[in-house]
Amino acid sequence: MTNKPQSQTSETKPNEEVDISTKLPIPIQEARIYLSNLRAEERLAWAYEQFDANFVLTTSFGIQSAVLLHMIHMLKGGSKIPVIWIDTGYLPAETYCYAEKLNNKFDLNLKVTQSAISPARMEALYGKLWETNSVEDIEKYHFLRKVEPLEKALNDLTVQCWASGVRGSQTDHRRSMNLIDPINGRLSLRPLLEWTQKDVFYYMQKNGLPQHPLFKKGYSTVGDWHSSSPEGNAAQGRNTRFKGLKQECGIHVQGTFGEGI
């Protein structure tokens, strides 16, 4: 399991319609079985070994983000791994402060990506898309502020495999995910896929990791300030986002805007 794929060439773009699973040293079904027998830290190490400079981690600096960031920090050579952060321009002040704290603590190779259109320009042209209670407007918001910026960052870094902290219990869609899946011409690794909230909590406690400031205020998940809320009787988990109208923003689904975002 030590073979590494060749670096991305200028003739092949990461998001082209190619079978990215051929970049693996074994068939993808065998890779999933192999990964299922590894700890989360070992899954990250495996992906880094396979893809080297074409491997990245994505983070939201959200409630549970410290776990994977700590694992990357502890990984031999992990300081070289790019960590992509999508700054929507609408994150809570607590998230920006938390991001600064974790970035300094773990000495991350942080790559911040943002929309080509500023928040002020977006609001002038399209209005406050999160206020209309329209799923179509929310999808447009997600595309402009999250999906498109991430795609650009992944292209710029010639990414073939990227890891994220998604867990199967978070949304209906994520329950159907595998530890590794092809998405839009790249491989998506989910080292924490089967982890529970208790697993996350105990890992953070064991390793003395700082909690997101909004955790103590009842937030189990946090995104943008205008569309996140603490848990209550009416909503739990990802349903606290965007008034429960959307669970997924499109980053973790196959296809382009209009196809499942």
Q: Tell me which residues are annotated as active site.
A: 249
Which tokens belong to 147? 């999906």
130, 224 Cβ separation under 8 angstroms:
yes
Nearest one of 218, 167, 175 to 64, comparing CA atoms: 167
255, 247 Cβ separation under 8 angstroms:
no
SS3 9: coil
Pairing of strands 55-59, 82-86: parallel
Nearest one of 202, 193, 144 to 173, comparing CA atoms: 193
Q: Can you list the alpha helix ranges (DSSP code H) found in the chain?
A: 28-36, 40-51, 66-74, 93-106, 119-126, 135-142, 148-156, 197-206
Which tokens belong to 247? 């669970």
The C-alpha atoms of residue 143 and residue 257 are separated, in whole angstroms, by: 7
Nearest one of 4, 24, 65 to 223, comparing CA atoms: 65
Nearest one of 56, 125, 131, 57 to 90, comparing CA atoms: 131
